[in-house]
Every structure is written in C-alpha cells, then in structure tokens.
Amino acid sequence: MNNTENKTNKDNNSPKMPKKPKMNVYWIYGAIAVLFIGMQFFGSMGGNVKETTWKDFKNNMLQPKDVAKIVVVNKEKVEVYIKPDKIGTGKYQEFSNEGFNSGPQYFFTIGSVDYFEQQMDEAQKDFSMEDRISPQYETREDHIGNLISWLLPIVIIVGIWIFIMRRMTGGGGGGGQIFNIGKSKAKLFDKDGTKVKVNFSNVAGLEEAKIEVKEIVDFLKKPDKYTDLGGKIPK
C-alpha cells in the first residue's frame, strides 16, 4: 500500500507541461469552404429581391402599369423595377420606402429573348406608347463565381500537398514514421516546467572517461585544430 501511495503521490506531484492547442488543418479547409459558400450566398441575394413568374408579372405588375422598367441580364434573367410611388403600398407593402433602393424588387427567368419580346408585345398591345415598357439588356460577370473557380483548384492542390507532407513527417499516422527513425522526441524538464540544459558537469562517471569524451566532442566540433597538429580522428 505504501509503495502504491508513494507512486500515486509522485505522479500527482510531477510537473505537468501545459498542453498546446492543436490546429487541425481540416478546420482551415472548413473555414475556407464556409467563406466561399457565404460569399456566394450573400452575393446571390442581391438585396430584398423576390422571385416571381411571367404570369404573375404580366397579370399583377405589368397590366396594372406598376412597372417602372425591366432589365434582361445575360439573356436569361429578367429584373423587375416597380415604380417608386407604388413601393410600400398595397401588394408592395413589404418593400418599404425606407428600404427602397435602386435595385429591382422581383426577378424571373426566361428561356429565349425573342420569345420573351413577343410575349411583351402581346401583353402590351392595348397600351399607349407612353405606357409601354421596353426591355433593357445587360451583360454581367459573376465575379464571385469566377473567384471561386480560380481559387478552389489552388486550395485543393495546397490541401493535398499539406496532407502528403503531414503523412511524410509523421503527422498522419504510422506510415509517416519512416522519416523519424532514430529521432527521439523525449525532452527533459525541470519541476517548474523549464527545459533543462544538460552538459558534461551534469554527467556522473569516471573523470578519465569524461575527459576522453570531451576530447572526441571537441575534435568533432573543431577538426582543423587537431589535423593541423597531425592528429587523426579517434576510432
């Protein structure tokens, strides 16, 4: 019992080195992925814009003459701008005047520009020339998508390279220990946790043997000092 208690007390009293937080490389990958997804999400929101359909646009916006203008983007997306005096009233109550900006309030997609123009002409055949809405056309680049497509391959290549290097240096399991053969990771620490520097004064043993070892070490550090005097490397 005494031996067990002494061993337990010794373990409890032994200095414990503070554990350093480990930075897992997969957290970095996750942060980059979240960043890209967030950029794409917030970039695609484009403010308070609601998706609608051609039928709803024609019957509930175009026919009542509530539309200020429409913009066809990249020949596939139609942005609908409601007249400022209609914003915040009736069915446009959700678009308050305080939150109104120069951006569109609605959008819908089309399959063909020619067919869309025919539909617009048919829907406005009874309109006067002043009330007719002519589509505007714009070509826009998806900068966020281009940035992701440019950076994503680089991130993947860097991630693969880091993974391989971790495996080679022993950070990825037993297969990487091949490069660490003969390397001891043991370190000597004092009671207060400071690293202990060991020299010949800390080594116990025969003084003659210590002197010989010192000479060998000194020769290995300064071989020219001995070779100039005709000395040879000790066997």
* Domain interval for residue 216: 198-235
On whether residue 212 sits in a domain, the answer given is yes
pTM of the shown model = 0.47
Residue 15: is its pLDDT beyond 70? Answer: no
Residue 131: is its pLDDT beyond 80? Answer: yes
Please count the other Cβ atoms lying within 10 Å of the Cβ belonging to residue 53. 11
On whether residue 132 sits in a domain, the answer given is yes
Distances (CA, A) of 196 to 6, 159, 185, 187, 199: 25, 37, 14, 8, 10
- Cα(39)–Cα(118) distance, rounded to whole angstroms? 37
Residue 174: is its pLDDT beyond 50? Answer: no
User: What pLDDT is attached to residue 180?
Assistant: 54
On whether residue 86 sits in a domain, the answer given is yes
| Pair 56, 134 in one domain | yes
Give the ranges where 79-206 is alpha helix by DSSP (H): 113-123, 143-168
Query: pLDDT higher for 62 or 46?
Result: 62
Residue 176: is its pLDDT beyond 70? Answer: no
DSSP state of 139: -
Which position has the token pair 């680089």?
154
- Cα(96)–Cα(82) distance, rounded to whole angstroms? 12
Average pLDDT of the residues in 28-42: 63
Instruction: End-to-end CA distance of the chain: give it in Å, rounded.
Output: 51
Query: pLDDT higher for 76 or 201?
Result: 76
User: What pLDDT is attached to residue 113?
Assistant: 95
- Cα(4)–Cα(38) distance, rounded to whole angstroms? 57
Write down which residue in 140, 165, 185 finishes a domain.
140
Q: What is the CATH number of the domain that holds 64?
A: 3.40.1690.20
Task: State the average pLDDT for the chain.
Answer: 75
| Pair 59, 130 in one domain | yes
70 residue type, one letter: I
Which position has the token pair 């967030």?
38
- How many separate domains does the chain show? 2
Count how many Cα atoms sit within 13 Å of the Cα of residue 128 in the half-sphere of its side chain. 3
Write down which residue in 96, 114, 140 finishes a domain.
140
Distances (CA, A) of 130 to 74, 166, 203: 27, 70, 102
**Exposed/middle/buried for 100, CB within 10 Å: 0-12, 13-18, 19+?**
middle
Query: pLDDT higher for 187 or 135?
Result: 135
| Pair 131, 206 in one domain | no
Centroid of chain to Cα 47: 24
Nearest residue to 105 (alpha-carbon basis) of 66, 43, 47, 65: 47
Residue 203: is its pLDDT beyond 60? Answer: yes
On whether residue 17 sits in a domain, the answer given is no
148 residue type, one letter: I
| Pair 52, 131 in one domain | yes
On whether residue 99 sits in a domain, the answer given is yes
Write down which residue in 109, 140, 171 finishes a domain.
140
Residue 79: is its pLDDT beyond 70? Answer: yes
- Cα(56)–Cα(106) distance, rounded to whole angstroms? 11
Are 112 and 54 in contact by the 8 Å Cβ rule? The answer is no
Most confident stretch, 2-11, 28-37, 85-94: 85-94
On whether residue 62 sits in a domain, the answer given is yes
